[in-house]
Protein backbone atom coordinates (compact mmCIF):
# COMPACT_ATOMS: atom_id res chain seq x y z
CA UNK A 1 0.00 0.00 0.00
CA UNK A 2 1.14 3.53 -0.76
CA UNK A 3 1.14 5.60 2.38
CA UNK A 4 2.77 8.66 3.92
CA UNK A 5 3.13 9.01 7.67
CA UNK A 6 3.90 12.22 9.49
CA UNK A 7 4.06 11.21 13.15
CA UNK A 8 3.99 14.70 14.64
CA UNK A 9 0.80 16.71 14.48
CA UNK A 10 2.46 19.72 16.08
CA UNK A 11 6.09 20.72 16.43
CA UNK A 12 7.00 23.75 18.48
CA UNK A 13 10.54 25.20 18.57
CA UNK A 14 12.22 28.46 19.48
CA UNK A 15 13.67 30.81 16.89
CA UNK A 16 17.21 29.79 15.99
CA UNK A 17 16.74 26.16 17.05
CA UNK A 18 17.13 23.30 14.56
CA UNK A 19 13.99 21.82 13.05
CA UNK A 20 13.28 18.33 11.77
CA UNK A 21 9.85 17.38 10.47
CA UNK A 22 9.55 13.65 10.07
CA UNK A 23 8.09 11.83 7.09
CA UNK A 24 8.02 8.09 6.42
CA UNK A 25 6.58 6.48 3.36
CA UNK A 26 5.46 3.10 2.11
CA UNK A 27 5.95 2.45 -1.60
CA UNK A 28 7.11 -0.61 -3.49
CA UNK A 29 8.76 1.16 -6.40
CA UNK A 30 11.23 4.01 -6.70
CA UNK A 31 9.55 6.87 -4.83
CA UNK A 32 9.22 10.51 -5.74
CA UNK A 33 8.77 12.64 -2.66
CA UNK A 34 7.77 16.21 -2.02
CA UNK A 35 7.25 18.67 0.77
CA UNK A 36 4.36 21.10 0.44
CA UNK A 37 3.80 24.04 2.79
CA UNK A 38 0.77 26.11 3.67
CA UNK A 39 1.39 29.44 5.39
CA UNK A 40 -1.45 31.12 7.27
CA UNK A 41 -4.16 32.36 4.89
CA UNK A 42 -2.19 31.18 1.86
CA UNK A 43 -2.54 28.30 -0.52
CA UNK A 44 -0.79 25.00 -0.38
CA UNK A 45 2.45 25.30 -2.38
CA UNK A 46 5.46 23.18 -3.23
CA UNK A 47 8.46 23.69 -0.95
CA UNK A 48 10.85 21.16 -2.41
CA UNK A 49 11.10 17.78 -4.15
CA UNK A 50 13.75 15.18 -3.62
CA UNK A 51 14.87 14.85 -7.23
CA UNK A 52 15.97 18.48 -7.41
CA UNK A 53 18.18 18.08 -4.32
CA UNK A 54 18.01 21.79 -3.59
CA UNK A 55 17.65 23.92 -0.50
CA UNK A 56 14.62 26.17 -0.37
CA UNK A 57 14.33 28.83 2.35
CA UNK A 58 17.09 27.01 4.19
CA UNK A 59 15.18 23.71 4.23
CA UNK A 60 16.65 20.46 2.93
CA UNK A 61 15.29 16.94 2.76
CA UNK A 62 17.19 13.76 2.01
CA UNK A 63 15.59 10.60 0.76
CA UNK A 64 16.68 7.59 2.84
CA UNK A 65 15.46 4.49 1.05
CA UNK A 66 16.74 2.17 3.77
CA UNK A 67 14.65 3.88 6.41
CA UNK A 68 11.92 4.86 3.91
CA UNK A 69 12.13 8.41 5.21
CA UNK A 70 12.18 11.92 3.77
CA UNK A 71 12.62 14.17 6.78
CA UNK A 72 12.62 17.95 6.34
CA UNK A 73 15.37 19.83 8.12
CA UNK A 74 16.47 23.38 8.78
CA UNK A 75 19.43 24.26 11.00
CA UNK A 76 18.04 27.54 12.36
CA UNK A 77 14.28 28.06 12.46
CA UNK A 78 12.77 31.48 11.77
CA UNK A 79 9.39 32.79 12.90
CA UNK A 80 8.27 33.03 9.27
CA UNK A 81 8.72 29.26 8.97
CA UNK A 82 5.60 28.76 11.08
CA UNK A 83 3.18 26.92 8.80
CA UNK A 84 1.55 23.60 8.03
CA UNK A 85 3.90 21.16 6.29
CA UNK A 86 2.75 18.19 4.24
CA UNK A 87 4.91 15.37 2.97
CA UNK A 88 3.67 13.84 -0.30
CA UNK A 89 4.48 10.75 -2.34
CA UNK A 90 4.03 10.38 -6.09
CA UNK A 91 1.37 7.70 -6.48
CA UNK A 92 0.90 5.06 -9.16
CA UNK A 93 -1.86 7.09 -10.86
CA UNK A 94 0.43 10.11 -11.34
CA UNK A 95 -1.24 11.78 -8.38
CA UNK A 96 0.12 12.77 -4.97
CA UNK A 97 -0.50 10.92 -1.71
CA UNK A 98 -0.33 13.29 1.22
CA UNK A 99 0.45 12.79 4.89
CA UNK A 100 -1.73 14.34 7.57
CA UNK A 101 0.62 17.27 7.97
CA UNK A 102 2.69 18.76 10.76
CA UNK A 103 2.03 22.19 12.15
CA UNK A 104 5.32 23.95 12.84
CA UNK A 105 5.24 26.76 15.37
CA UNK A 106 8.39 28.84 15.78
CA UNK A 107 8.35 30.92 18.94
CA UNK A 108 10.32 34.17 19.29
CA UNK B 1 -1.88 36.51 -14.49
CA UNK B 2 -1.71 32.72 -14.50
CA UNK B 3 -3.68 31.39 -11.58
CA UNK B 4 -6.14 28.80 -10.39
CA UNK B 5 -9.53 29.96 -9.12
CA UNK B 6 -12.18 28.32 -7.00
CA UNK B 7 -15.70 29.57 -6.31
CA UNK B 8 -17.40 29.84 -4.00
CA UNK B 9 -14.84 30.09 -1.21
CA UNK B 10 -17.44 29.23 1.42
CA UNK B 11 -20.80 27.53 0.98
CA UNK B 12 -23.42 26.63 3.57
CA UNK B 13 -26.30 24.67 2.14
CA UNK B 14 -29.16 22.43 3.20
CA UNK B 15 -29.37 18.68 2.79
CA UNK B 16 -30.63 17.49 -0.57
CA UNK B 17 -29.53 20.50 -2.60
CA UNK B 18 -27.54 20.15 -5.79
CA UNK B 19 -24.26 22.05 -5.74
CA UNK B 20 -21.45 22.73 -8.16
CA UNK B 21 -18.01 23.78 -7.02
CA UNK B 22 -16.19 25.70 -9.71
CA UNK B 23 -12.51 25.42 -10.57
CA UNK B 24 -10.80 27.28 -13.37
CA UNK B 25 -7.15 27.71 -14.22
CA UNK B 26 -5.29 30.02 -16.55
CA UNK B 27 -2.01 28.14 -16.11
CA UNK B 28 -2.36 26.32 -19.41
CA UNK B 29 -2.14 22.97 -17.60
CA UNK B 30 -3.56 19.74 -18.94
CA UNK B 31 -3.88 17.86 -15.65
CA UNK B 32 -6.39 18.89 -12.99
CA UNK B 33 -7.30 17.38 -9.63
CA UNK B 34 -9.86 17.58 -6.84
CA UNK B 35 -8.84 16.82 -3.28
CA UNK B 36 -11.00 16.56 -0.18
CA UNK B 37 -9.59 17.50 3.20
CA UNK B 38 -11.29 17.16 6.57
CA UNK B 39 -9.90 19.32 9.42
CA UNK B 40 -6.58 17.99 10.74
CA UNK B 41 -6.52 15.22 8.18
CA UNK B 42 -4.62 14.51 4.99
CA UNK B 43 -5.72 15.54 1.53
CA UNK B 44 -7.43 12.74 -0.35
CA UNK B 45 -7.63 12.68 -4.14
CA UNK B 46 -11.25 12.25 -5.26
CA UNK B 47 -11.07 13.05 -9.00
CA UNK B 48 -8.50 13.88 -11.63
CA UNK B 49 -8.32 14.60 -15.33
CA UNK B 50 -5.57 14.27 -17.92
CA UNK B 51 -7.25 16.68 -20.32
CA UNK B 52 -10.49 17.47 -22.14
CA UNK B 53 -13.07 14.66 -21.91
CA UNK B 54 -10.85 12.74 -19.48
CA UNK B 55 -12.04 12.11 -15.90
CA UNK B 56 -10.89 9.50 -13.41
CA UNK B 57 -11.81 8.62 -9.86
CA UNK B 58 -9.17 9.05 -7.20
CA UNK B 59 -8.20 7.13 -4.11
CA UNK B 60 -11.13 8.24 -1.98
CA UNK B 61 -14.57 7.16 -3.03
CA UNK B 62 -16.80 10.16 -3.54
CA UNK B 63 -20.42 10.66 -4.52
CA UNK B 64 -19.44 13.73 -6.46
CA UNK B 65 -18.98 13.87 -10.22
CA UNK B 66 -16.74 15.99 -12.42
CA UNK B 67 -16.59 17.07 -16.03
CA UNK B 68 -13.85 18.42 -18.27
CA UNK B 69 -15.36 20.00 -21.34
CA UNK B 70 -12.79 22.77 -21.54
CA UNK B 71 -9.10 22.60 -20.64
CA UNK B 72 -9.33 25.41 -18.13
CA UNK B 73 -12.52 24.33 -16.35
CA UNK B 74 -13.01 21.36 -13.99
CA UNK B 75 -16.26 21.69 -11.99
CA UNK B 76 -17.30 19.27 -9.26
CA UNK B 77 -20.98 18.49 -8.71
CA UNK B 78 -22.90 16.93 -5.84
CA UNK B 79 -26.41 15.98 -6.97
CA UNK B 80 -27.80 15.77 -3.44
CA UNK B 81 -25.68 17.24 -0.66
CA UNK B 82 -25.54 15.50 2.72
CA UNK B 83 -23.91 16.47 6.03
CA UNK B 84 -21.23 13.82 5.37
CA UNK B 85 -20.09 15.95 2.43
CA UNK B 86 -19.05 18.75 4.78
CA UNK B 87 -15.35 19.27 4.10
CA UNK B 88 -12.81 21.45 2.34
CA UNK B 89 -12.39 20.84 -1.38
CA UNK B 90 -9.13 21.80 -3.07
CA UNK B 91 -8.59 22.02 -6.80
CA UNK B 92 -5.12 21.72 -8.30
CA UNK B 93 -3.49 21.62 -11.72
CA UNK B 94 -0.16 20.58 -13.17
CA UNK B 95 1.69 20.31 -16.45
CA UNK B 96 1.61 17.05 -18.30
CA UNK B 97 4.63 15.27 -19.65
CA UNK B 98 7.36 17.82 -19.19
CA UNK B 99 9.81 16.94 -16.43
CA UNK B 100 8.33 13.55 -15.69
CA UNK B 101 5.08 12.23 -14.30
CA UNK B 102 5.02 14.10 -11.02
CA UNK B 103 5.12 17.73 -12.02
CA UNK B 104 4.48 20.38 -9.40
CA UNK B 105 0.81 20.75 -8.54
CA UNK B 106 -0.55 24.26 -8.12
CA UNK B 107 -3.44 24.61 -5.73
CA UNK B 108 -6.45 26.86 -5.64
CA UNK B 109 -7.63 28.59 -2.45
CA UNK B 110 -10.21 25.91 -1.69
CA UNK B 111 -13.95 25.79 -1.07
CA UNK B 112 -15.16 25.13 2.44
CA UNK B 113 -18.51 23.34 2.19
CA UNK B 114 -20.92 22.93 5.08
CA UNK B 115 -24.07 20.87 4.58
CA UNK B 116 -26.69 21.32 7.28
pLDDT tens profile B50-68: 999 999 998 787 889 999 9
Q: Which residue of B has its CA nearest to A101?
A: B42
pLDDT at B2: 85
Average pLDDT estimate for B89-101: 76
Predicted confidence band of residue B98 (pLDDT cuts 50, 70, 90):
low
Task: Go through B78-103 and write b for each residue having 16 or more CB atoms within 10 A of its CB, e for each that does not.
Answer: beebeeebbbbbbbbbbeeeeeeebb
Strands B111-115 and B10-13, bridge-based pairing: parallel
Residue A32 has its nearest CB partner, among B31, B102, B109, at B102
Closest CA to A50 of A28, A75, A23, A76: A23
Report CB contact under 8 Å: B56, A93: yes
For testing contact with chain A, the best of B25, B105, B110 (most A CBs within 10 A) = B105
pLDDT in tens, A35-56: 999 999 899 999 998 877 788 8
Q: Give the whole-number percent of chain B exceeding pLDDT 90.
A: 73
pLDDT value of residue A68: 94
User: Which residues, other chains included, contact B102 with Cβ-Cβ below 8 Å and sequence gap of 6+?
Assistant: A32, A34, A49, A90, A94, A96
**What are the start-end ranges of the H helices in chain A?**
none
Does residue A56 belong to the interface with chain B, where contact is any CB pair within 8 Å?
no
Which pLDDT does position B97 carry in this prediction? 57
Q: Which of A4, A46, A90 sits opposite B101 (nearest CB)?
A: A90
Under-50 pLDDT residues of chain A: none
Chain B positions contacting chain A at CB under 8 Å are: 31, 33, 35, 40-45, 48, 56, 58-59, 90, 100-102, 104-110
Work out the pLDDT band at B101, boundaries 50, 70, 90. Answer: low
Is it the case that residue B49 has pLDDT exceeding 70? yes
Helices (H), chain B: none
Amino acid sequence: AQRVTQPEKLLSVFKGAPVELKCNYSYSGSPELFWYVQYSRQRLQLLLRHISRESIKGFTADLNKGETSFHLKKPFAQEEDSAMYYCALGGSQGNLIFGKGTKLSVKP
Amino acid sequence: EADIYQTPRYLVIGTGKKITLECSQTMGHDKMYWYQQDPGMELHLIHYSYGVNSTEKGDLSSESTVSRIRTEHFPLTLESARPSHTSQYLCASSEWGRGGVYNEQFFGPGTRLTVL
